[in-house]
Amino acid sequence: LKCSMSLVGSQGIVSATEVLLAAAVFCLVFLLIQSLRQHVPKGLRSPPGPRGFPILGSVLELRKDPHVVLARLSRQYGDVMEVRIGTRPVLVLSGLDTIKQALVKQGEDFMGRPDLYSFRYITDGQSIAFGPDSGEVWKVRRKMAQNALKTFSITPSPTASSICLLEEHVSREAEYLIIKFLQLMDEKKSFDPYRYLVISVANVMCAMCFGKRYDHNDQELLNIVNINNEFGDVAASGNPADFIPVLQYLPSRTMQLYKDINRRFNSFVQKIVQDHYTSFDKEHLRDITDSLIGHCQEKSVREDARVPLSDKEIIAIVYDLFGAGFDTMTTALSWSLVYVALYPDIQKRIQKELDQTIGQERRPRLSDRGMLPYTEAFILEVFRHSSFIPFTIPHSTTRATSLNGYYIPKDTCVFVNQWQVNHDEKLWKDPSVFNPERFLNAAGTEIRRTESDKVMLFGLGKRRCIGESIGRWEVFLFLATLLQQLEISLLPGEGVDFTPQYGLTMKYKKCESFQIKQRFPVKSSP
């Protein structure tokens, strides 16, 4: 800046010319390097795609609703398309068959994660969800995390052996929500349920991960919720340094905030892990954290015992399980309430099914899912229509490969457009219409698995979300319990802005127009 201020007259003109020449040389060198990198084997082609601008690529075009823009571009360039985001080439996959070919049939080729600058700050690069590692050690640790999550969700409750832990946790939180919603209706004309859903879902995850349920006004719980909300907001804004590397060396308030959020949550989980070490009893494992600590202290010789876990890795696994389950489930439930409020006839049909199958004498159980096909069809249509996770976490190729006749170099960043699949006119009749019946057989008595398997929300293949089953169960239990007891509507003449707010998960815009009415007397208290 000082140099530019001191330039006058012809010196200023020369300086500007030098800058332009330097930029032009940089662009030419960059394009030359890329052309050398893209040596395409005989018989294959490079993926087609928009050319974009030098340095910026297609950033300007993708800055708003990138899932929709890329879906539109795929109609022009095909299901295998390359776009440049900044200086980085990104492979964009669309079409269910193409995505299955890449992530399932060629899963080993596409199971990597790109070494994005922002990913390095999530649990110090130890994350099994975001980290670039995809080798044998990663596979064993992922399996351990999956087993721990499953164990502390389907294990019978020690206080009520007829139900599992997940049912106990969700039932308790759903009962709290029912009473809280009704109390709010006594105090005000309407409200937004999201802020209360997020605390209840967080409490379920706290119970599974930390063995602890908090009071809803507990400051520690509220801090967890705030950190997670801040992470979503910052991550949604994107990090240009992931795709324009030179920006890594420039100050960024957003990136500094992003690092701080990750540091704060790491510190929170680290404290809990240390407390668990102090009170650990291998004969009485209380939660997922205990399960992982028990693995570290296991002396028997078996496959996963040869892969010890450090404290950092335990923190990373807990971070992944808590963060993913918390945000995804809250978003799924909040969209579910939006749809039942917008479509009262659909809500009545769900409640009729609940009344006929379960009645009012007991709460919904996981074992009821198969007997509630319309409720299940509704949840599937919420997943499809909202597509609130528009992309999977970016993938990366682990080696040079080919797909649909196109050559894909090693370490190529890959975007998987789940929103496009869920709105593909080749797969769905009237994809913009919300219609749960598309998933039911002609008699309305069973889910058509050929249709339900088309819905993409949790990814596919070797990087598929490890908490998918638990997530689906949790949404079902919360929704069925709430609708068994409550009627949900909007203020007369009011609606919900259906335009989602783009981010890691897409949320509806804040809406204070929800009204809650009690269907039957509530017997419990929070």
The domain segmentation of the chain, as residue ranges, is: 38-518
The rounded distance, in Å, linking the Cα atoms of 353 and 374 is 7
Q: Are 65 and 32 in contact (CB under 8 A)?
A: no
For residue 2, is pLDDT > 50? no
| pLDDT of the residue at 525 | 42
| pLDDT of the residue at 500 | 76
Arithmetic mean of pLDDT, 238-265: 86
Q: What is the pLDDT of residues 116-157, one digit of tens each?
A: 888 888 887 788 888 888 788 888 888 888 888 888 888 887
Q: How confident is the model at residue 503 (pLDDT cuts 50, 70, 90)?
A: confident
Q: What is the pLDDT of residues 100-121, one digit of tens each?
A: 999 999 999 999 999 888 888 8
Highest mean pLDDT among 232-241, 291-300, 423-432, 513-522: 423-432
Q: What residues form DSSP beta bridges with 93?
A: 80, 416
The rounded distance, in Å, linking the Cα atoms of 269 and 273 is 6
Could you give the count of Cα atoms lying within 13 Å of 115 in the half-sphere of its Cβ? 5
For residue 3, is pLDDT > 50? no
Residue 284 exposed, middle or buried by CB count within 10 Å (0-12, 13-18, 19+): exposed
| pLDDT of the residue at 298 | 67
For residue 236, is pLDDT > 60? yes
* Mean pLDDT, all residues of the chain: 86
**13 vs 134, residue with greater confidence:** 134
Q: What is the pLDDT of residues 398-453, one digit of tens each?
A: 999 999 999 999 999 999 999 999 999 999 999 999 999 999 999 999 999 999 99
Residue 427 exposed, middle or buried by CB count within 10 Å (0-12, 13-18, 19+): middle
Q: Among 249-263, 368-382, 406-420, 510-524, whose mean pLDDT is lowest?
A: 510-524
pTM of the model: 0.89
465 labelled ligand-binding? yes
Arithmetic mean of pLDDT, 83-93: 94
| pLDDT of the residue at 74 | 97
Please state the length of the chain: 526
Q: What is the pLDDT of residues 310-325, one digit of tens each?
A: 778 888 888 888 877 7
Backbone angles phi, psi at 350, to 5 degrees: -60, -45
Give SS3 for 2.
helix
* CATH for the stretch 38-518: 1.10.630.10
**83 vs 149, residue with greater confidence:** 83
Q: Are 505 and 328 in contact (CB under 8 A)?
A: yes
In percent, how much of the chain has pLDDT > 90? 49
